[in-house]
Amino acid sequence: MPRNKKTKNRNDVSVRPLFPAPVSGIASLLVPGLGQILNRQVGRGILIILSLTGIIALFISRMVALAPRLTGSQDIFLKAIGRRPFFLILVLLATIAAWLWTAWDAYRSAKLRRKSGAIGLFAAIIVAFFALGWQISEIDLGKMVTEAPKAWGPLSKVLWPWEAGITYKDQTVSADAKVLIGTEFPAPLPNEKKSKEPYLIVEPTRGELSRVSDSNQMIPGTVLHLSGGNFRPNTRTEIWWIDPIGNEFQPREGGKYVSVTTDAAGAFETSFAMPYQLVPPSAKGPQYDTAEARQVSRSGPPLPSDALKLTVARMVETIMMGMMATFFGILFSIPIAFLASRNIMSGSWVTMAIYFLTRTILNIVRSIEPLIWALIAVVWVGLGPFAGIIALTLHSVAALGKLYSEAIEGIDHGPIEAIQATGAGRLQTIMYAVIPQMISPFISFSIYRWDINVRMSTIIGVVGGGGIGFILFQYIRLLQYREAGIAVWFIAITVAILDYVSAEIRNRLL
């Protein structure tokens, strides 16, 4: 064929069909890819068979998933098409196109006796896989828009969480008065007015608590009249109730907490029924409850909140975890790196066996993610940063062992020979010829690893490995988005600083 001779590319490889062209075409129409195999294009034939089988299997399983509880194949098909018409029809069309194209390709290749490009065939297969992938991974771009307003609340808290980062000291002004429960014992004396200090007078000083009757009706207790003075003027004042063993709560009147606002002189008057409260049957002797009027106000300079302090402490823990894991990783990986260096271990079959064994172990350990190692370490040593350190150390040893051993394999023997030729001893040779060659990759890889370890340790807490990830995960689950936001901010800042610092160190040293 003259065109064949003119151009020389892969498509010009001649096809040697076993049967006439129509046979190949029909074969591929019956079993897609069979025609190609008959054309002795085995690789292409198998690829087509596997792709189309995969597409059809996924297509059917997807339809079944879309039509649960239906059994008839026609019902399933109609229901599934009804639910996701566009995607399923697209997949169907692409599959049919690919199928027909396969037959056409087999026929044409056999007839022309050369490989055809068949870009359209593979495009159809890719389209079908893409549409299926879109379906199976539940991509829903609409959701991104419709759900956005809901996300804004938590998201805005995460983006600017600092409100939760500060707190103020509470300053409390309070006064209390005793109230005796029941009528068996004599009533205590009421408080007296004081000239300077806040005071609270309750009348009467003895009464019955609210009760619930047998028919579930609330029977209000004795109405107490409270009057107080010498409080801060024009300030909301809460009324609290404290039982004989010190449990306190705010009584409610009509569903609202009882509170009152002081007048310009700092005095107030209010009244409420004694609250519902169980007195344990074992209580003996007079039971005194306490009514308290309390004014709480924030005072003093802004202080870091508990969440902020916890986040900082955990961040420090995180960085330290990364540091310790890197330190131990370097420590253990240096000797291992020598065992994993081909040039060092090529002496005998014993050392080569050690070399292969070390390499294999390193590869296995490295292929398991630190998060998985952390899960194992948590079982081993319990929750906390130590488990995280073990996980990160294991992974670091494996990663650094490989990198270091490659650095060792890459060293130039020439300088070693030259230093030996000067009459230098073994230690001097190591110091003057080996170490200078290894120092820069060692430092570079170690810093790189430190970087990775700190990043990793921010997340390893999610599985209980200590560090900031633990509280971040907890805050998110408790829907405390501001506190979570603080943790996110700290992680981002730390990682950014670390990135910059490690890049700087590397630039300066190397």
Question: What residues make contact with other proteins under the rule CB under 8 A?
Answer: 412, 414-415, 417-425, 427-428, 431-433, 436-437, 439-440
Looking at the Cβ atoms of 5 and 426, the one nearer to other proteins is 426
Closest approach of other proteins to the CB of residue 437, in Å: 7
Q: What is the DSSP string of 349-394?
A: HHHHHHHHHHHHHHHHHHHS-HHHHHHHHHHHH-SSHHHHHHHHHH
Looking at the Cβ atoms of 137 and 348, the one nearer to other proteins is 348
Looking at the Cβ atoms of 172 and 428, the one nearer to other proteins is 428
List 178's β-bridge partners, or say none. 290
Closest approach of other proteins to the CB of residue 344, in Å: 16
CA distance 360 to 352: 12
Closest approach of other proteins to the CB of residue 439, in Å: 7
CA distance 318 to 502: 17
Looking at the Cβ atoms of 261 and 428, the one nearer to other proteins is 428
* CA distances, 136 to each of 61, 147, 384, 443 (Å): 10, 20, 37, 45
CA distance 95 to 93: 5
Closest approach of other proteins to the CB of residue 332, in Å: 24
Looking at the Cβ atoms of 120 and 441, the one nearer to other proteins is 441
**DSSP H or E stretch at residue 191:** none
CA distance 438 to 420: 18
25: Cβ contacts below 8 Å, ≥ 6 apart: 35, 103, 104, 106, 107, 110
Torsion angle (degrees, nearest 10) of CA 483, 486, 491, 492: 140
Looking at the Cβ atoms of 183 and 440, the one nearer to other proteins is 440
Closest approach of other proteins to the CB of residue 357, in Å: 23
Closest approach of other proteins to the CB of residue 418, in Å: 4
Closest approach of other proteins to the CB of residue 503, in Å: 20
Handedness of CA 154, 159, 165, 166 (dihedral sign): negative
Looking at the Cβ atoms of 139 and 418, the one nearer to other proteins is 418
CA distance 341 to 149: 57
* CA distances, 192 to each of 176, 177, 231 (Å): 11, 10, 15
